[in-house]
Amino acid sequence: MQAATVNLLAVGLGGALGTGSRILLSLAALRLWDDYAFIGTLAANVLGAALIGYLATRDMTARAKAMWMTGFCGGFTTFSLFSLEILVLFERSSMLMLGYGAVSLVLWMLGVWGGWRLGQASASP
């Protein structure tokens, strides 16, 4: 099997694992917070940002990067749902929409920075 095909399968497997994890998180958030289930999206994006920041510091094969960074993180995080939630929140309250958008951006950046720092700190010399 060609390397490109194997990498594509790695992305697909990672994406399936990430998407499966994402739906479990979404269902848990919906069960816990109902009207505030968008917190699940916020959590997924923060955790995904932290994970991809951490993974970016690891010495990984191209196949492992394809599976975990492109596939898993891509399947686990979501920007399209975030965009829809911003629109729905705007219809409820412009302040809630602005707050959610601002908090999301700050937490994503803190997540990717924290993952990056953790990865650097735990890297072997």
Both tokens of 40, joined, read 């699940």
Q: What are the angstrom distances between the C-alpha of 65 and each of 4, 22, 25, 45, 111?
A: 13, 19, 23, 18, 19
Domain range for 78 is 3-122
Grade residue 90 by pLDDT with cuts at 50, 70 and 90: very high
Mean pLDDT over all residues of the chain? 93
Q: What is the pLDDT of residues 14-57, one digit of tens each?
A: 999 999 999 999 999 999 998 888 899 999 999 999 999 999 99
Confidence class for position 125, pLDDT limits 50, 70, 90: low
Query: Domain total for the chain?
Result: 1
Could you report how far apart the first and last alpha carbons of the chain are, in Å? 35
